[in-house]
Structure 1
């Protein structure tokens, strides 16, 4: 697997993780409005781990970006 393939795969995983986290936040908000504050709080607490790793994931993905090679001059 090339570095470009790995970067693409990790970017996709990061995007899906962000999408799932967003959906979980919406579920927590809905549960909160229904009156089950403890359950909503546990969902939000679980999401804090995802949010804590976000900066590291973004930094890693940025460092893996493959630049296009410079054109060769004859």
Structure 2
């Protein structure tokens, strides 16, 4: 297997890790929100929104890379 053949799998695993970190950060954000730090929670949610905005592009790009075998 060539090194370039590993790239789609590597990017897929990195994306999975990113989504797992997002979920963990959201859990902490919800806890912070319940503790009364609403502005901090809102700021974190705003930053995490970028992950959601980019998710579809990442999925489509990975699908194209994996189908070009």
TM-score > 0.5, shorter chain as reference = yes
Mind listing any 5+ residue stretches in structure 2 that lack a counterpart?
none
Question: Across the two proteins, how many residue pairs are aligned to each other?
Answer: 67
Question: Highest CA radius of gyration, 1 or 2?
Answer: 1
Counterpart of 1:52 in structure 2 is 53
Counterpart of 2:26 in structure 1 is 25
Q: Report the TM-score, using the length of structure 1 for normalisation.
A: 0.83
Kindly indicate which of the two structures has a greater share of residues assigned to helix.
Answer: 2
Counterpart of 2:64 in structure 1 is 63
List 4+ stretches of structure 1 deviating above 3 A. none
Mind listing any 5+ residue stretches in structure 1 that lack a counterpart?
69-74
Aligned mates of 1:66, 1:47 — CA distance in 2:
29
- Aligned-residue Cα RMSD (Å) equals 1.4
